[in-house]
Structure 1
Amino acid sequence: MQALSLRLAPCVRGIVPSERGLMKDLVVGAAANLSWNELEPWIVSLERSGYTGQKAIIAYNLAPGVMQQLTSRGFYIKHIVRQDR
């Protein structure tokens, strides 16, 4: 089994404080190798809960269509790639 090495940015670009200097709510998820059908229940649940804060997802090996769906629903996506050692 090969190890998966992840390199993430020290901060999440695009997630910023509100105009009054107060931090907004933020939900962060992570998904790897998931189809839209597998990820959709989590997204729909979050939407139906009435959550209005910022949304971000750490994504590994998601299809372009899945990434498009997430973007269209207001998610910031931090895409990570496999680093071979």
Structure 2
Amino acid sequence: MALACSAAIGLGLPCALIAAMTAVQRETPDAVLGRTAATANTLVFVPNAVALTLGAGLIAVVDHRVLLVTLGAAGLLTALMLVRERQYAIGR
């Protein structure tokens, strides 16, 4: 499961990052492109660094089984919310 998920992330994440950076470059005036690209990079990559830091800290003080159950529950909750939102959008 871990390998399959890693492969899915490896295939999907670059597409999303390329799309985001391409949109920034296409939609931003040349005069402010550098600052806008730097801000976009910060907004895209900093949450990952913060999450890695928090995860490393949590694994040091909380049992890994508790973290896995919590992560699984958060993933299911997110999936349910997305399905519910999609059903709501389709029903409009």
Structure 2 length-normalised TM: 0.28
Bigger Rg, which one: 2
Greater percentage in strand = 1
Q: Structure with the greater relative contact order (CA < 8 A, sep ≥ 6): 1 or 2?
A: 1
Q: Which structure's residues are more often helix, by fraction? A: 2
